[in-house]
Structure 1
Amino acid sequence: MKTTNRPLLLDGAMGTELRARGVRVPDYKSSIWSALALIEAPKDVQQLHQEYIQAGSDVITVNNYAVTRKLLARENMEERLEELTETAAKLAVAARKNAARTGVRIAGSLAPLDTTYRSDLVGSFEENLAAYREMAILLAPHVDILLCETMTTAMEARAAAMAASETGKTVWVSWTLHPDGEKIRGGQSPAQALDALADIPVAAVLFNCSAGDAIEKALPDLIALADIPVGAYANPVHHEPPGGEPEIVPTTPLSPDEYAQMAMQWVGQGAGLIGGCCDTSPAHIARLRSLISE
């Protein structure tokens, strides 16, 4: 669906930005990524949430991307799922409370249960549904939106969205694109991915954790196909190298202005939600806010 009003502005990166500030953020493929900051640097997490609000974000996302049982088990922390989910959610709530702006919404993250981009590790529908139900129930009391993000396959997204919808919260679904922009990373076309959600009350669909050129190619078709708002939050790079992964995608990161100019082109195409993914910062969001407000 083409949106003609001003777009909703999401926030930017958490893990890569914390790392840039000197916070210890371990490898996402073998450890628990930004979840460690919930234990070692919660004040930094809350501060970054607040900076995104100050920069102009209408929606901030809870730092629970890597708080899944499979990922926590890497550090023998599986039993801390409930504790760390609640910690992450409360940091976002506290940031909103302390911010000068009002009307900011909070999204809880339902992200891949295992390593990002690995469709071969997604598992069965039943396994995903059970895990996402547990996570959604933990997040629901604290959030306004449940964001099923960086979804690699149509089945994974369906399981996450179904679990999220059972809470009664607003549900958004965001897929990550193959570098060719013709399919999501699991191999399904955007049309197939969207069709898998047909019987679930999803309020918006997006693309994220992808390069700008892939989003530019895929977004018009999704806007034409969907009867709900469509959006994107990308990595700040035009092209993704073959075999690109989240931590190496931004080989030549776009500046805040360059990224904002790119994202505003999506708005011109009809996108109703925009923000930033890996390697974006409050500066990127602030520049987007200034362009949206012009």
Structure 2
Amino acid sequence: MRAVYTKIASILAPLVDIILCETLASRAEVRAAASAASTYGKPVWVAMTLQDDLSGRLRSGESLTDAVRDIDASPQLGALLLNCCAPQSVTSGLEHLRDICPPGVRMGGYANGFQTTTSEWLSGKEEAAFHTTSEKDFEDGVITPSAYARHTAEWVSKGAEIVGGC
């Protein structure tokens, strides 16, 4: 796995200001991607995807805290992000990150903007979507801008400096 990330980083590094490793679902992916990206002298932003619940766990079921501790000594680490999961998962995950984020490393998130969760399409099940957002906050299965803005405001209140959408 590290060899693949090294190849990707070697191609990108001469052309970019930062190396963003995103939608990492396991500790092994976090370690491999961050390690490979860190060898090129660029800031490395690591974005992890969480389970669509409030557990603050990676999609692999592993601890977000453990994943961060695996890479927190990297001098290239510039940001810890949460992405490709429900907005409420980002909120919960930021509460975990706030306690373990190394000094000088920025936090943030960019959640899915649709009602059906990643877990549902990975499993193929027709389950009720995980969300605490009101049904009126969705139009045709996509979260409204005002509802998403409420989530991002909450992330900022928890220390997020980088926000976006997925």
SS of the residue aligned with 1:265? helix
RMSD (Å) for aligned C-alpha atoms: 2.2
Q: Is the 8 A contact 1:129 1:163 kept in 2?
A: yes
Please say if 1:138 is aligned against 2:7: no
Q: In the TM superposition, what whole-angstrom CA distance separates every residue of 1:146-171 from its partner, at most 9, and x where no partner exists?
A: 01100010111111111111011110
Q: Which amino acid aligns with 2:15?
A: H
Of residues 192, 207, 212, the one that matches 2:82 is 207
Using the alignment, how far apart are the partners of 2:72 and 2:83 within structure 1? Answer: 20
Number of equivalenced pairs: 148
Q: Is the 8 A contact 2:82 2:109 kept in 1?
A: yes
Q: Which amino acid aligns with 1:213?
A: Q
Name the residue aligned to 1:236.
113
Alignment of 1:143-292 (within 5 A): 143-182=16-55, 183-201=57-75, 202-227=77-102, 228-237=105-114, 240=117, 243-245=120-122, 252-277=141-166
Unpaired segments ≥5 residues, structure 2:
130-137
Q: Considering only CA atoms, is the larger Rg found in Structure 1 or Structure 2? A: 1
Using the alignment, how far apart are the partners of 1:157 and 1:262 within structure 2? Answer: 25
Query: More strand per residue: 1 or 2?
Result: 2
SS of the residue aligned with 1:258? helix
Moved over 6 A (4+): 248-251
Using the alignment, how far apart are the partners of 1:189 and 1:239 within structure 2? Answer: 24
Using the alignment, how far apart are the partners of 1:241 and 1:234 within structure 2? Answer: 11
Unpaired segments ≥5 residues, structure 1:
1-127, 278-294
Identity %: 37
Using the alignment, how far apart are the partners of 1:134 and 1:205 within structure 2? Answer: 22
Using the alignment, how far apart are the partners of 1:231 and 1:160 within structure 2? Answer: 18
Q: Is the 8 A contact 2:52 2:89 kept in 1?
A: yes
Using structure 1 for the length normalisation, give the TM-score. 0.47
Alignment of 1:75-114 (within 5 A): none
